[in-house]
Amino acid sequence: MYRSHSCGQLRASHINTEVTLAGWVQKSRDKGFMIWVDLRDRYGITQLIFDEDRTPATMMEKAKSLGREFVIQVTGTVIERESKNAKMPTGDVEVLVSDLKILNDAKLPPFTIEDETDGGEDIRMKYRYLDIRRNPVKDSLIFRHKVTMEVRKYLSDQEFIEVETPYLIKSTPEGARDFVVPSRMNEGQFYALPQSPQTFKQLLMVGGMDKYFQIVKCFRDEDLRADRQPEFTQIDCEMAFVEQEDILNIFEGLTLHLLKEINGVEVDKFPRMLFDDAMRLYGNDKPDIRFGMEFGELNAVTQHKDFGIFNNSELVVGIAVPGGNSYTRKQIDNLIKWVKRPQVGALGMVYCRVNEDGTFKSSVDKFYDQEDLAKWAEVTGAKAGDLICILSGETNKVRTQLSALRMHLAEELGLRKPNEFAPLWVIDFPLLELDEETGHYHAMHHPFTSPKPGQLELLDSKPGEVKANAYDLVLNGNEIGGGSIRIHDKQIQATMLKHLGFSDEEAKAQFGFLMDAFEYGAPPHGGLAFGLDRLVAILGGQETIRDFIAFPKNNSGRDVMIDAPAFIDDEQLKELNLKLDIQE
């Protein structure tokens, strides 16, 4: 036994107890005749005391030698602290050390192991094992554990069964590129790593498992972005004999459970928004509804004047910035600059101040009178003291631009509060998406998604208008989950694949196993997958996922610890005696 108690455990009730503790030296203060050491472990910090009167000289010497992050074991007596520290749970006591053992020494860490560290991102990532000792990272990993435990508890209580599906599978196209894994047992053949267990969970439904879930790693060999890892974790779920309504209810229940158990927050029933409405009102299929600033479409009230820009625009659309009339001219110019940056791409911005007295002052007063501008305020919901920002252009583009502006303003105005949670369902997604480069339609969700009842007939005539039985769960402007009711009929699946451009032969080769399974009694089924990394980060009030992953990869897909488990080299590959005889 290295310890009788953890470093977070001792209280006034332990006074006069003999204890043994082990941990890391957080810091020490040496007053010559007296030395205090803060001893840290995962559970907390306890103050140790060595003093000339009560500590043998050799031990005083040893105590003086302790450096930061040394690993030590001490035995001693819990005593009352002279100057108590109300901020520390153990702040009433300290341990008068009678025995000190250095278990391991430590080089000076390359950055301070404190909540606010002096180490930059790169050095902390390189020494991730030291970064994990810091509370913000350690607490994030513990937080993730708590979330997954609650997810499993909730789903298990609802009769979901966690079933492991294979990692070494056959490639099935799901949008991103697969990682491939050569098999030595079967020379010249390759496994793929799953982008999701989609087809396996559908087979489990055909197999009668009824309610399945799995917290599972998925993989995609694609360009990385800050918040996109080549390996990521999903809470993957599927249910049989369900309609969309059943699925929304179950996973709304799960999300409510997490918000309550993890965040202590009670949220009302989630609003549901049509995809088309989300695009119209927020320019975005994952709107942040913690705040308003809904889009107002202004074509009807801007036309028939001489302002050509608006007259020639497919869409003129604005938002009311609450209190925005207080912006200086310079601030507004900065906003205009912001929307004109290439990342946003607007050509300009029209604005209109709503004065406290109810009058208006716009950047296009030449073309529009007070009566016109009053209509703008009405459409955008602007009140006295607000600022109306208006963009115009091609519908899809201008919506995206105004959505970016809306988020930017909300961020600036402090409206995106990390501890406020505003979930919603976005439903009735389009089934197909036009690839503007190729002119082909492809599945917006995946090829197994069912069209809404009665819409199959539109596939030929109006493919872009067919709605899917697909839904996303959105939280604070992030898509945290998405799913659909699946096709469970072989013929419909075949029709769908044909429309997605698969020949009969290709469809059979790629998806034959699934369509065959549909012939042996496939139940209606559907499901949903949460992106765990992002869900955890948002519940934890963070925008980035990195702190919630123990060993993330950097933007080139390398392990964060550059000298650590990362890539194997040619030499090792030769040693592995691997035959890779495929060449392009």
Q: Which residues line the annotated binding site for ATP? A: 220-222, 229, 479, 531-534
Q: Does 551 bind its own copies (CB under 8 A)?
A: yes
For residue 294, give both structure tokens. Answer: 């809904």
Q: Single out the segment in contact with its own copies by CB under 8 A; choices: 138-146, 427-435, 453-461, 477-485.
A: 138-146
Give the footprint of its own copies on residues 193-222 (CB under 8 A): 193, 199-200, 203-204, 206-211, 217, 219, 221
Q: Which residue has the tokens 């998806």?
A: 511
How many residues interact with its own copies (rule CB under 8 A)? 130
Rounded to the nearest whole angstrom, what is the least distance from the CB of residue 432 to its own copies in the complex? 21
In the bound state with its own copies, the residue whose beta carbon lies nearer, of 196 and 313, is: 196
Residue nearer to its own copies on the CB measure, 2 or 33:
2
* Contact residues for 137 (Cβ-Cβ < 8 A; gap 6+): 131, 547
Nearer to its own copies, 383 or 440 (CB): 440
CB of 259 to its own copies, least distance (A): 20
Give the residue with the Cβ less far from its own copies, 88 or 163.
163
Q: CA-based Rg of the chain, rounded to a whole angstrom? A: 30
Of the residues 16, 104, 328, 461, which one makes contact with its own copies according to CB under 8 A: 104
492 touches its own copies by CB under 8 A: no
- Sequence-distant (6+) residues with CB within 8 A of 217 are 167, 231, 232, 233
Q: From 172-180, 361-369, 400-408, 453-461, give the range in contact with its own copies by CB under 8 A.
A: 172-180
| Binding to its own copies, residues 175-194 (CB under 8 A) | 177-186, 188-193
| 222-281: contacts with its own copies (CB under 8 A) | 223-224, 230-231, 233, 241-243, 245-246
Binding site, annotated residues for L-aspartate: 174, 220, 445, 486
Question: Quick one: which of 58, 64, 56, 54 has its CA closest to 95?
Answer: 54
Tokens coding 247: 């699925």
Q: Give residues 338-367 in contact with its own copies (rule: CB under 8 A).
A: none
CB 473, CB 528: distance < 8 Å: yes
Cα–Cα distances (Å) from 250 to 161, 247, 424, in that order, read: 14, 5, 14
The reply to whether 579 sits near its own copies by the rule CB under 8 A is: yes
Q: Mask: binding to its own copies, 57-96, rule CB under 8 A, as x and -?
A: ------------xxx-x-----------------------
> Binding of its own copies at residue 29 (CB under 8 A)?
no
Q: With binding defined as CB under 8 A, does residue 128 bind its own copies? A: yes
Specify the DSSP class assigned to residue 228.
B
Give the integer Cα–Cα distance in Å for 105 and 99: 17
Closest C-alpha to 25, from 60, 56, 64: 64
Give the C-alpha separation, 20 to 76, whole Å: 7
User: Which of 116, 343, 357, 567 is close enough to bind its own copies by CB under 8 A?
Assistant: 567
Q: In what order do the strands lie in the sheet with 470-475?
A: 161-162, 211-219, 231-240, 525-531, 478-485, 470-475, 423-427, 272-274
Among residues 1, 492, 499, 483, which one has the least CA distance to residue 197? Answer: 483
